[in-house]
Amino acid sequence: MLVAGIGASAGGMEALTEFFEHVPAHTGLAYLIMLHLSPDLDISLADVLGKVAKLPVTLVAGSQTIAPDHIYILPAAGHVEIEKGRVSAFAHVASEDRRAPVDVFFRMLAESYKERSVAVILSGTGANGSMGLKRIKEYGGATFVQNPREAAFNEMPRNAIATELVDNILPVAQIPANLLSYRRGLGTVAITVEPETRPPDQQQALREVFTQLRMRTGHDFSNYKRPTLMRRIERRINVLNLPNLPAYVAYMREHPDETQALLKNLLISVTNFFRDSRAFLAIEQEILPLLMKGKSQEHTLRIWVAGCATGEEAYSLAMLCAEKTSGILDAPKVQIFATDIDEAAISIAREGKYNLNDAVDVSPERLRRFFTRDGDEYRVRREIREMVLFARHNVLKDPPFSQLDLVTCRNMLIYLNQTAQERAMETFHFALKPGAYLWLGMSETVDGSSDLYVNVSRENHLYQSRQVSSRSYPVPETIPQFIPEKRSVAQPVAEMEARSGVRMSFGDLHQQLLEQYAPPSIIVNEEYEILHLTERAGRYLQIAGGEPSKNLLKLIRPELRLELRTAFYQAVQQQTNVEARTLKIRMEDRTETITIHVRPVLRERDPARGFILVLFQQVGEASDHEGVLTSVEPMARHLEEELIRVKAQLRTSNEQHEVQAEELKASNEELQAINEELRSAAEELETSKEELQSINEELTTINQELKVKVDEISLTSNNLQNLINSTNMATLFLDRSFRVNLFTPSTREIFNLIPADFGRPLSDITNRLDYAHLQEDAELVLSKLQTVEREVRSTDGRVFIMRILPYRTAEDRINGVVLTFVDITGPKAAEEALREADRRKDEFLAMLAHELRNPLAPVRNTLQIMKMTSGDDERVSASVAMMNRQVDHLVRLVDDLLDVSRISRGKIELRREQVELCKLVADAVEATTALYESGNRHLTLTLPNTPLYLNGDVTRLTQVITNLLTNGVRFTQENGHVWVALEQTGNELLLSVKDDGIGLTSDQFEAIFELFAQVNSSPKRADGGLGLGLTLVKQLVEMHGGRVEAKSSGLGQGSEFLVHLPYLEVPVEFVPPAIEKTVRARPREILVVDDNRDAADTLAMILTHQGHHATVSYDGPEALALLERQPAEVVLLDISMPGMDGFETAKQIRNRPDGRKIAVIALTGYGQSDDKKRTRQSGFDGHLVKPIDLTELSELLSQLFPPKNQED
């Protein structure tokens, strides 16, 4: 039965619902669910799945038998156990269960169902499930993960994918069908383990699989167990839904990346911290104290972790050593060598970073002491990291470390065949000191090498190295790392199988040979060493004194030694079977006649080639005494035959001695040459020793320098990390391919990043920005090397200033781009609030100006009527003039208030032209003379004789000069004096306005120009205005490219205002403005429309006095009715009227048949440029601001109705 374990957390209920909607009624699978959410949701999940699933749903409580076609929901808040086909749930919760329930669940599932287990990871947060998924793969199970792009919370799927052990990444709706395909494939694809019985197509396909692995990965699996390899390949074929091994080979050809995927399945680098806690406790309490006994700080505790995978076991030992050595002043140094053949796993181990679930087996105390929390990861502290040296190393091929106190190999030997295991045991024995310790995994033993180790703890698989007479490191097979294609293809799998498969023992070989030869026999190798002998063969051997030997020529009975040596020589030289002469030997109390047969194994590709079989064949019956020759002739014949045999033996011996003499001579010459080479090598070694000593001193110096550099880098790294954390700025570093290099913690609020995303393309990572051109901007920065800055918004309403700039190295190389995001949500909201407040302020000021100007209109009109009708009455004229000045002052205050607002918003644009400043100053002085005379002040003007020009706005410059002159009147006592002077100084024009008034303090020189600033020392504080005049002066002068400053010797000492303006040295041909002749407009029919009756009536009176025929109306409908009865040429129309306003009235007038012939002029208190633009767009012919200037009205009428000589 196949059991699918499903893990999920946030968003998992929706994913599970969709999953089981696609699961049919009969699958043959059992489904176990661990949903890491609130315990209350377990019941809700059972109810939800019960409605959509076609299988029975059970909420596990107590103990349940696991049956196919059932769904079991496991409580995340309880303790779960899975064993012997049953699942149990208890109320007690272990600490690791609470921290990583899905991981613990997957571990138990893998240990119970092994290759029949499947892990499925769906939507969820964090890395829960990733570590348990590794255990599933370790036991040969399959893994399926929901596509992160469709997961509501994609952290669990993405962390699982980051392990690189996931078989399928699919939408959740497709996972059930793929699970069924995987289950149906189990058992249908079978690869024969024994090469002798393997079909030819499988043999060829398997040869190509191993060839592809060697060529593309450099890994040789000849020493691995055949069944394990075949099962892993079968499982990979099932995962891909392929029918057989040849189809898989075709798939490998079409998908080169499959080689790496298969390699990942064959090299499952799985481990965890403190795996097998009981064994680690034995190391901590028993072994480490023994190893540290008698060691001081001059010594080093040397440990080798072989097959370290991703480093958890090495770091676990380092933590134990750190705990043991802490507090000991004279503690030895600790050096741990951690090796593996998987470079990817070694890279993870070197980095020393593990997610929260990887650290579930580390106690909270050790986490605090030996790790640093970095977001959702733990980083090994420096004191632990420096204890461990990681390296890529092959135990079977590479030279081992030496003088070790402890070797651990807890997850490697179970994958090797018997020969490789024995070789590894010899390697470890060579590396260990005598009496040092070997620690193996729970499924591993030293049974094949018991002569090298003594058992210390059978329960914890701890062994101690024996002291043997001689220790030597076995020379490794010279298997190249990468095999050329032409050789690798030709190498037959059978040859590899013969070397690395189930090894044929010498006893089995002997039994096969004895099927033909039954006499006593012995098998020897080419060195004549006994490999195996039958029971009765021992009769022909004799053990002599001295050191024991396995050489047959030394152990054979002396009377047989000469014949056997001769037979050996002939058999080896002639490569044929040899039969020695018949010999009689005395065996205890009787004599035997035997013949010795020497038979070398000559067949090609025979595993026993090079071995020699020696048989002792008995001839005739044994007798108690030797026969006596009674005849002389037979005796002579016997002696003659004996002599012939002796001569033949002598000849053979002579030939053998001659060959040996030649060989000895050659050997002697070689030894002499070797002696010379050794002498030369000794001298070179002496020189090399001195060089090495010098290099060692240099290396020591360099090492010290490197340590200083490492400390500096560490300090810089710490400073940078603290800077990044303190700025709280989201920063993302990308390389030239726009892959993630580094990111700050705040970046995860914008991008969906996890620590495993280093190296992923930016385009694969989702974000929360409402901006679709991020990639294009990054490409633009990299190509143009220009910074891009934009204001972007996120989907949750936040606002960021995004800056993308090139990443420059210290060598000024561009290695990518840097993205920074500054959260300006608060400032942006404040800015928008300020803009809104500013808009409302402008609306208020415009409304205020309108409301102030409306009552001024009838006042101004009345003053105009009084002026027209006063005649020669001086008192009335003086009163009218005084009231006009006050009205002008009020109008100027309103204008100043609006101008300040317009300047602050950048709404004023200067209409520049060439201006002669002397005339402008003189006109302004003349215009304010009456003001000075009425206040009994004296004004003195000093101008140069030559004209002075500048490029400026006449109206605004006049406003500057008038405000300064008005300011002089206000802050000067009666009979006071104001001096105005203009001169050129270099490239500047300097206008000075000086008085002998109240003066200024030094702290008022700058403050006097601020908005609404008042001079507190003024005796006329109540007449000081709004404090806008000098603010306008400063802003308008600066708009002209100049500056203004205030000076004073103190209170009561008067003050001086200096205006610096740029001088126009050579003006383009200056044409003085033409003097316009006032043209009196002919009388017109004028309709005045205004809801302010006083303003309408007084304006009509003025127009009538000027000779026009004026009619009055107080609202729009009345005006339209009057136009029906009495057509008008001009309509003066108020804009802000109740009911039908001026815009609607103007529209109705234009819709009349004669509407286009009537001149419609707007009367309003709104005088901004936007107001004038709106009236123009609404069809008005003019725009007059209340209180209207009669001269401006006359000029407008003249423009609308030019004299006939101009019209013609």
3-state secondary structure of 189: coil
Could you give the CA distance from residue 160 to residue 149 in angstroms, rounded to a whole number?
14
**Mind listing the pLDDT tens digit for each residue in 1056-1098?**
999 999 988 755 454 444 444 444 557 889 999 998 888 888 8
Could you give the CA distance from residue 203 to residue 492 in angstroms, rounded to a whole number?
9
pLDDT at residue 730 is higher than 80: yes
Phi, psi of 476 (to 5 degrees): -75, 155
Domain boundaries, the chain: 2-185, 277-465, 504-626, 728-823, 830-902, 913-1062, 1085-1207
**Which range, 164-168, 849-853, 1042-1046, 1136-1140, is most confident?**
1042-1046
Q: Given this model, what pLDDT does residue 486 score?
A: 35
Q: Given this model, what pLDDT does residue 791 score?
A: 92
**Mind listing the pLDDT tens digit for each residue in 92-149?**
554 444 567 888 899 899 989 988 899 999 998 878 888 888 888 888 889 999 999 8
Q: How many residues does the chain have?
A: 1208
CB 122 within 8 A of CB 146: yes
Lowest mean pLDDT among 842-846, 927-931, 956-960, 1108-1112: 842-846
- Specify whether domain 913-1062 bears CATH 3.30.70.270: no
CATH number of 277-465: 3.40.50.150
Could you give the CA distance from residue 431 to residue 428 in angstroms, rounded to a whole number?
5
**Mind listing the pLDDT tens digit for each residue in 362-371?**
998 999 999 9
3-state secondary structure of 615: strand
Prediction pTM value:
0.47
CATH fold for domain 1085-1207: Rossmann fold (3.40.50)
Q: Given this model, what pLDDT does residue 336 score?
A: 94
Mean pLDDT of 78-86: 85
Q: Which residue did the predictor score with more confidence, 1171 or 145?
A: 145
**Mind listing the pLDDT tens digit for each residue in 898-907?**
666 666 655 6
pLDDT at residue 205 is higher than 90: no
Over the chain, what is the mean pLDDT?
81
For every residue of 487-518, DSSP letters joined together read HHHHS-HHHHHHHHSSPPPHHHHHHHHTTT--
Q: Given this model, what pLDDT does residue 1078 score?
A: 46
Q: Which residue did the predictor score with more confidence, 344 or 198?
A: 344
pLDDT at residue 958 is higher than 60: yes
pLDDT at residue 35 is higher than 80: yes
pLDDT at residue 1029 is higher than 60: yes
Q: Given this model, what pLDDT does residue 70 score?
A: 93
Of 1105, 1108, 1017, which Cα lies nearest the Cα of 1054? 1017
pLDDT at residue 894 is higher than 90: no
Q: Which residue did the predictor score with more confidence, 482 or 35?
A: 35
For every residue of 1085-1138, DSSP letters joined together read EEEEE-S-HHHHHHHHHHHHHTT-EEEEESSHHHHHHHHHHS--SEEEEES--S
CATH number of 728-823: 3.30.450.20
Q: Are 277-465 and 1085-1207 the same fold in CATH?
A: yes
pLDDT at residue 742 is higher than 50: yes
Could you give the CA distance from residue 1040 to residue 344 in angstroms, rounded to a whole number?
69
Q: Given this model, what pLDDT does residue 1044 score?
A: 93
Mean pLDDT of 871-881: 66
pLDDT at residue 1018 is higher than 90: no
Could you give the CA distance from residue 1120 to residue 1137 in angstroms, rounded to a whole number?
14
Phi, psi of 412 (to 5 degrees): -130, -45
Q: Which residue did the predictor score with more confidence, 857 or 1176?
A: 1176
Neighbouring CB atoms inside 10 A of 1101's CB total: 19
Confidence of residue 193 (pLDDT cuts 50, 70, 90): low
Q: Which residue did the predictor score with more confidence, 933 or 386?
A: 386
pLDDT at residue 482 is higher than 70: no
Q: Given this model, what pLDDT does residue 195 score?
A: 65
Could you give the CA distance from residue 816 to residue 759 in angstroms, rounded to a whole number?
13
**The two structure tokens encoding residue 460:** 């914890």
Q: Given this model, what pLDDT does residue 481 score?
A: 39
Mean pLDDT of 816-829: 90
Report residue 147 CA to chain centroid gap. Answer: 19
Q: Given this model, what pLDDT does residue 1061 score?
A: 93
User: For residue 360, how many C-alpha atoms fall within 13 Å in the half-sphere facing its CB?
Assistant: 22
CATH number of 2-185: 3.40.50.180
Mean pLDDT of 166-172: 90
Confidence of residue 516 (pLDDT cuts 50, 70, 90): very low
**Which range, 28-42, 84-98, 470-484, 864-878, is most confident?**
28-42
CATH class of 504-626: alpha beta
Lowest mean pLDDT among 414-428, 487-501, 628-642, 1139-1153: 487-501
Q: Which residue did the predictor score with more confidence, 1168 or 854?
A: 1168
Mean pLDDT of 58-62: 87
pLDDT at residue 480 is higher than 50: no
β-pair type (377-380, 371-374): antiparallel
Q: How far is CA 1026 from CA 398, 889, 1021, in A?
A: 93, 12, 10
Of 1007, 937, 886, which Cα lies nearest the Cα of 1017? 1007
Q: Given this model, what pLDDT does residue 1079 score?
A: 47
Q: Given this model, what pLDDT does residue 626 score?
A: 47
State the Cα angle at 634 between 629 and 636, rounded to 5°: 100
Could you give the CA distance from residue 981 to residue 965 in angstroms, rounded to a whole number?
12
pLDDT at residue 416 is higher than 90: no
Q: Given this model, what pLDDT does residue 738 score?
A: 92
Confidence of residue 562 (pLDDT cuts 50, 70, 90): confident
